[in-house]
Amino acid sequence: MNKEEQEIEKDQQRRRKRRRRQRRSTSFRWKRLFGIILALLIICGVTIAGVNHVVSLFTDKNETTSTTETQTSMSTTPLKQQALDKPMYILVVGRDNEHPTQGDTLFLVSVNKEQNNVDIIGIPSNSKIESRDKKTAETINTIYSTGGIDLTKAVVEDIFHITIPYYMIVDEDSFKQSLQVLGTPDFFVETDMYHTDATSGIQDIQIAKGYQALSADSAYGYMRYADDGNDMLGRMQRQERFMKAILNSYDASYTITKLWHIWRIWDHYETNISTFDMLRLAFSLRTLPQDNIHYYILAGTKEVLPSEQEVWTINPTDAQRLIGITMGTVSPDENTDEMEVVHSSKNKKVDDVDTDLTKEQGI
């Protein structure tokens, strides 16, 4: 083989090596690209599956929560509405740390997902409950110390002639934890509020009159405060004013952040409603306008017992009228004013109180 032929052979070998390197490089690039695509598909699939699972928690009406789930080590009851005119009733009991055996605050909350409205009925804690023989009487806040949430729920069921499947107990810790997560609104305090603990001698409530941003501690003091006359009705009016301010400041738009807030605070409550059921309910009410949240106080009159204890004598006709409103069979304007109470034989709306306070602020 002459020199020229040798050069040709070497050149062909170099070309063959170059083609083999190109094939290996191309094969490697395609394998790497295929691996990237496969990884992206897996990530997308997992993400979509997760989103579908979360959405199904809130949208699948046929799915029920197992009663074996626990909420603060307690059994739960599936949260569902049976019919258009049968809202879900939830009894909310506020428990004072100073008197943990007493139900210091009571609200009956009616949630009607089908009609997209919520009714909140305040029950004065000194409401008189007579025995079946009508010979003795006690106030509803002492019922909790006698029979706990079950007996309290049964008594409220007797007042309104309904079944209340659900309950929620709020104490100082859960109340403050909730406000630390949700935040507190700027709020007008209508009078100076000072209270000294009888046992320790420490002033545990110190709130000056005026427009201010309440801390969680101050907000709790505002909710607990009763004036020198121990006016439970006035305290309930303030409690509903504060709840209304919280809900008004917490706009109704649905966000993942709000679900996360519910997830964080729900374990602090003693309740038979599971976290997932509460998340599903929040999702279903994501379009609820503020105007569809109504506040009432169970009407009645003040009465002083022979023992000189002041109690609230419930108006049974008004109790049935309020239930008719929650079912949609009675108009709120039909002989009942929203947020109306009867106090010393005079009608007074909590909305009117808000109007008076607004004028006082000069707004």
Determine, yes or no, domain membership for 27.
no
Cα 64–67–69 angle (5° rounding)? 100
| Both structure tokens of 28 | 């490697």
3-state secondary structure of 95: strand
Domain of 105: which CATH number? 3.30.420.590
Instruction: Please give the span between the terminal C-alpha atoms of the chain, in angstroms, as a whole number.
Output: 109
Q: What number of CA atoms fall less than 13 Å from residue 88's CA on the CB side?
A: 21
Q: Establish if 134 belongs to a structural domain.
A: yes
Single-letter amino acid, residue 324? G
The answer as to whether 129 is a domain residue is yes
195 CB neighbour count, 10 Å cutoff: 16
- Look at residue 150 and tell me if it is in a domain: yes
Report pLDDT for 159: 95
> Is residue 205 domain-resident?
no
Strands 128-130 and 186-189: unpaired
Domain that holds residue 284: 88-175+253-340
The pLDDT value recorded for residue 318 is 93
CB atoms within 10 A of CB 219: 22
Closest CA to 176 of 138, 217, 206, 146: 217
Q: Residue 310 class from Cβ within 10 Å (0-12 exposed, 13-18 middle, 19+ buried)?
A: middle
Number of H helices, E strands in the chain: 9, 16
Which amino acid is it at 101? T
Confidence (pLDDT) at 160? 96
Q: How many domains does the chain have?
A: 1
User: How far, in Å, CA of 181 to CA of 61, rounded?
Assistant: 29
- Cα dihedral across residues 277, 278, 279, 285: positive or negative: positive
**Dist. CA 249–CA 244, nearest whole Å:** 9
CB of 302 closer than 8 Å to CB of 344: yes
- Residue 254 and residue 231 in contact, taking contact as beta carbons nearer than 8 Å: no
- Unique residue bearing structure tokens 């005079």: 346
Please check whether residue 245 lies inside any domain of the structure: no
The answer to the question of residue 100 being in a domain is yes
Give domain status of residue 312, yes or no: yes
| pLDDT digit string (tens) for the chain, length 363 residues | 566 666 666 666 666 666 665 555 555 454 555 555 545 544 545 444 444 444 454 444 444 443 334 344 468 888 888 888 889 999 999 987 665 555 578 999 999 988 889 999 999 988 998 876 566 778 888 888 888 899 999 999 999 999 999 999 999 899 998 888 888 888 999 999 998 877 788 888 899 999 998 899 999 999 888 876 667 788 888 989 998 888 877 664 456 777 777 888 888 899 999 999 988 888 888 778 888 999 999 999 988 888 888 889 999 999 999 999 999 888 877 554 444 444 333 334 445 445 455 445 444
What does the DSSP assignment read for 163-185? ---EEEEE-HHHHHHHHHHH---
Q: Rounded to two decimals, what is the model's pTM?
A: 0.72
Q: How far is CA 45 from CA 13, 275, 310, in A?
A: 48, 27, 65
What local confidence, expressed as pLDDT, does residue 55 receive? 45
Beta strand spans in 208-325 (E): 210-213, 270-271, 293-297, 300-304, 310-314
Q: Are strands 128-130 and 137-139 parallel, antiparallel or unpaired?
A: antiparallel
Q: Could you report the per-residue pLDDT of 252-282, keeping only the tens digit for each?
A: 445 677 777 788 888 889 999 999 998 888 8
Burial, 29: exposed, middle or buried (Cβ in 10 Å; 0-12, 13-18, 19+)?
Answer: exposed
How do residues 205-252 score in pLDDT, each as one tens digit?
899 999 998 899 999 999 888 876 667 788 888 989 998 888 877 664
82: left (phi over 0), alpha (psi -120 to 50) or beta: alpha
Q: Nearest Cα to 130, choosing from 4, 1, 312?
A: 312
| pLDDT at residue 90, rounded to an integer | 96
